[in-house]
Structure 1
Amino acid sequence: MGRDELLKTKYPILLVHGMGYWDESPRPYWGRLPAFLRAHGVAVYFGGQDAWGAVPGNARRVALSLRDALRETGQPRAHLIAHSKGGLEARYLISTLGLGGCVASLTMLSTPNRGAPLAELLLRLHPGVELWSVAAEAHARRHGDRDPAVLRAGREITREAIVRFNRENPDDARVYYQSWGAELADSRTDPLMAASHAVLRPLVGETDGLVAPESAKWGVYRGTLHGVSHQELVDSMGRDTPRFRPLSFYAELVRGLRGLEG
């Protein structure tokens, strides 16, 4: 078996990004990953949702991307790899939008499946958060967002809102669900996430700077990556660190997806 064939999947892979960023920007959200997978023969597509969109609207945009991927590849199903809030949008697509039959697997990376306390803290900063949200939405529209809703998106990942979300979006038995979490611990390879990690640590314990491992657990929990930040988990910084080699991690992940294809 050739080198490329070790990673090539039968089904396309759809990468579903998280909040506050776009798939392709001056610093690509997924770093080196799309080019790496394509070089190994994998059909890679993006979710294409808004940076600051609410879950329902974003999930519908992911659904359009999913249908495009299936039409172009001629395959009946796809693998979804989702980061952060993108995991919630993928779950909504599967459950509320009823597209579980089109999804072979959903892999969630630091998705706040039980809420993100940092969002709750920020939402209490009145009136600062309202003023910032207006500016953020204007910026988002200039960069392609069709329906930015900063405050609504923030409220959707509070612990109270997630309880309702989980009740309304049960798992689909046709889909294989798996997840990973991460914790930054004492790593200082990502100064921005180290700052938010320091704020959250006394309140909720270890996080990757935004999401706690306990919140990330859903379906088959594959484990907690140590010394890895929320951003480093998706290679958005485009580099290896002493504790984490993103492309090696995703190579193993994708090899595992091949085993789900029969």
Structure 2
Amino acid sequence: MRITPFATGNPKRTFNPNPSTRARPNMTLAERAVRSLAAMKPNPQPPLLRLRHPLVLMHGFGVLAAFGRGGMLHEQAMHLRKRGVWAFAPNVSPYHTVSARADQWGARLTHILRETDADQVHLVAHSMGGLDARFLVSRRGWAERVATLTTVSTPHRGTSAADFVMEQPDRLIALLAAAAEWLGRQILPDDDASDFTRAVRELRPAHVQGTFNPATPDAPSVDYRSYAGRAGRGTDVPINPFFRLLNHVIYEREGVNDGYVATESARWGDFRGALDADHARQVGLAAGGLRRVPAADAFYRTLAQDLADEEDDRR
């Protein structure tokens, strides 16, 4: 299944609270001007999305999406809050191992459950955040407190981008690690134990498929679903120049990808489709992080609506 265009939402859910504000035939120029500038709607606010459980957005590896945004997925969480969703987007170490990040997520989720007095959460995890979430559920005892886990472009079978990084000269890897860990400490001041090199090794296909997946079985009580991304080579979807090199590398080794994760690697549980978006656009960024992608807000809003609809069906 291919989702095209990216994150436009379900057209059946279009909300038009007051069609009478549209211009009518034979209106005077003055009437049209006033209507276009100052017409009020009886119910101008968008409909509320009523979720029984809080929705937690979990970010992935790196800090690209954090600059000027308060966090990787902070803006998407605030967009959902405007729709009435108890949405949260905590931040954890951007350059640490899955187990270390999972422990940090556990602390963040405990705080959220206390704040909301909820007994479960919905997790929506982007990229490496999906591996963190699976580890948290399977190996940190969170299965009973997680209602659903939706992953978006998570490398469930690893990513050859990690192989490519680890194939570089040791000196270059050391420089990358030092720079990444320094940057991580500045962005998240209480992050004093990043481990860039180990984190990258844990994203290699051999490790994810040979070690992580066998040791991290799905919890029967948790509903797993996933989305992939596609852009660049092998598609007609443009890709952020930042990802162009990795897009070519991954395409040669794994096929169609979003610049960081192969489309096939992102499949897990109930596969919901592929987004026509590169890895950055999936979290609302384009043009090197200088321009927002409103379609990402619509995508996460649609996810929340789907979860709300499913909760209603179970009642």
Give the TM-score taking structure 2 as reference length. Answer: 0.76
- Tell me how far 1:44 sits from its aligned partner: 1.6
The answer to whether structure 1 residue 20 and structure 2 residue 69 are counterparts is no
Q: 1:239 aligns with which of 286, 292, 296?
A: 292
Task: Give the corresponding residue for 2:25.
Answer: none
Q: 1:210 aligns with which of 260, 273, 278?
A: 260
1:76-112: CA deviation from partner (whole Å, max 9, x where unpaired): 1000110000000000000000111010000100000
Identify if the C-alpha distance between structure 1 residues 41 and 6 changes in structure 2 by more than 3 Å, giving closer, same or farther: closer
Q: 2:80 aligns with which of 37, 58, 62?
A: 37
**Aligned residue identity for 1:239:** R
The answer to whether structure 1 residue 250 and structure 2 residue 300 are counterparts is yes
Task: Give the corresponding residue for 1:229.
Answer: 278
Matches within 5 A, 1:76-87: 76-87=119-130
Contact 1:31 1:236 survives alignment (8 Å)? no
Q: 2:180 aligns with which of 130, 136, 143?
A: 136
Matches within 5 A, 1:49-128: 49-127=92-170, 128=172
Contact 1:77 1:103 survives alignment (8 Å)? yes
Please report the RMSD computed on the Cα atoms of aligned residues, expressed in angstroms.
2.1
* Alignment partners' CA distance in 2, 1:224 and 1:45: 24
* Alignment partners' CA distance in 1, 2:309 and 2:212: 30
Identify if the C-alpha distance between structure 1 residues 30 and 234 changes in structure 2 by more than 3 Å, giving closer, same or farther: same
Identify if the C-alpha distance between structure 1 residues 192 and 68 changes in structure 2 by more than 3 Å, giving closer, same or farther: same
1:52-95: CA deviation from partner (whole Å, max 9, x where unpaired): 01111110111111111111111110001100000000000000
**Aligned residue identity for 2:131:** L
- Tell me how far 1:31 sits from its aligned partner: 6.2
Contact 1:6 1:255 survives alignment (8 Å)? no
Contact 2:48 2:84 survives alignment (8 Å)? no
Contact 2:65 2:280 survives alignment (8 Å)? no
Larger Rg: 2
Q: 1:146 aligns with which of 171, 192, 204?
A: 192
Task: Give the corresponding residue for 1:176.
Answer: 223
Structure 2 unmatched ranges of 5 or more = 1-14, 16-42
- Tell me how far 1:24 sits from its aligned partner: 4.8
Contact 1:101 1:174 survives alignment (8 Å)? yes
Give the TM-score taking structure 1 as reference length. Answer: 0.91
* Alignment partners' CA distance in 2, 1:205 and 1:31: 31
* Alignment partners' CA distance in 1, 2:187 and 2:56: 22
**Aligned residue identity for 1:236:** L
Task: Give the corresponding residue for 2:36.
Answer: none
* Alignment partners' CA distance in 2, 1:197 and 1:181: 14
Contact 2:65 2:285 survives alignment (8 Å)? no
* Alignment partners' CA distance in 1, 2:110 and 2:247: 37
**Aligned residue identity for 2:177:** S
Contact 2:65 2:283 survives alignment (8 Å)? no
Contact 2:49 2:85 survives alignment (8 Å)? yes
* Alignment partners' CA distance in 2, 1:79 and 1:139: 30
Identify if the C-alpha distance between structure 1 residues 23 and 7 changes in structure 2 by more than 3 Å, giving closer, same or farther: farther
Contact 1:4 1:41 survives alignment (8 Å)? no
